A and B are shown apart, each in its own frame.
Chain A
Amino acid sequence: MDYRTKITAEPGKQELFINREFDLPVALLFRAHTDPTLLAQWMSNDYAKMTVEKLDAQPQGAWHYTVKDPSGQTFNFYGVIHDIEAPVRLVRTFQMDSQQGEPSVQLEFHTFTKLTDNTSKLTTQTIYRSNKERDDMIRMGMAPGANMAHDRLQEVMNQYK
């Protein structure tokens, strides 16, 4: 299975990179990240419905999403926009409510690049507080329900470890 999305997570590091090329003009790619209606559409999936509670797309603006999983449980994600320049850059913090202990906070640098009039590239660098936190977030898939089927499988398999 070939994915168009490349993810690099070097062992032992606290960061990861997500790269993807789109058959879209860069302005539309950027808009999909800052328009609440569109964002909620592509961030939702069969398992998890995402609602944009707040998205103040400007420097020092706050954002807040909620995600509802099939069991009806709601999870909160929020952060602050540090730097935003259409259609080239979005720098923000991302925080997820934790079920136990401290919430995990990450810093994201999103760079939007025009390739041609009709193609563009998104490069994201995400920095975590520790290597362990990064690895745990990857395992969890960062969104409740996003990998529910996979998590269930993991649970089932864990009994056999």
Chain B
Amino acid sequence: MSPRIAKALVHGLLIGAVLVAVFPLLWMLSVSFMHPGEAGSLPPPLLPSHPTWNNYQALFVRAGVGRYLFNSLAISTAITVLSLAFNLMAGYAFAKLRFAGRERLFRGLLGMLVIPAQVAMLPLFLTLKYMGLVNSYAAVVLPAAATAFGIFLVRQYARGIPDELLEAARIDGASEWRIFGQIVLPLLKPIMVTLAIFTFLTAWNDFMWPLIALTGQEHYTLPLGLASLAREHAQDSELMMAGSVVTVIPVLALFLAMQRYYIEGLLLGSVKG
């Protein structure tokens, strides 16, 4: 095969794959600007004949999607901030501070990685019910406020901090909190960014636990709101597409802006052990 044909073939295959990967997303965007019923014609239309904002208006005015958007933002941000703080502290302690039983505790932590989260869901629901927390933001935020995986990532990264740096600060009389805040945190910035994006995206996209923990629509996140809309308005494809756009665009934009860090986290995270 001549190099030119090979090159054309490789690019042809890749362009085909990109079309398949991106077409549903572009079509979703396009249909969200169509008039009611327009998407249900044959052949399926690619572009809206008269683009309209009506679906988005209906979504926010009638379907209360603004509320879901706010909930998603609030819950994902809270989870990101809390888990970042907790995971950074714990990861640093596992990497750099000495205490009795450190290795054993860490091995236990790694063991938790193989347990699927769904096993804990039923008792967790009951516990939260007795605490009166079902159907509150706390029910979604608290269980996600620390993760074995996040601690593991931070620990791997923090092991690279030279001990001399910390010892020198201790000799100068700095307290442990000060060392953490002024020396360690700035050094951990790259992993902080990576972990923050990862956590935010995961929290935003989560479905099963919020579905269980949030029983009233006023606390619904976007995926929950969308799923319940899909059950009520199965025929309104244009409205549903607009809902999907609102749900997907924020995370897609975040990913596109912070790609480098996200991919880095993906690779760090996949090299377990």
The answer to whether A and B interact is no
Interface residues of A (CB under 8 A from B): none
Interface residues of B (CB under 8 A from A): none
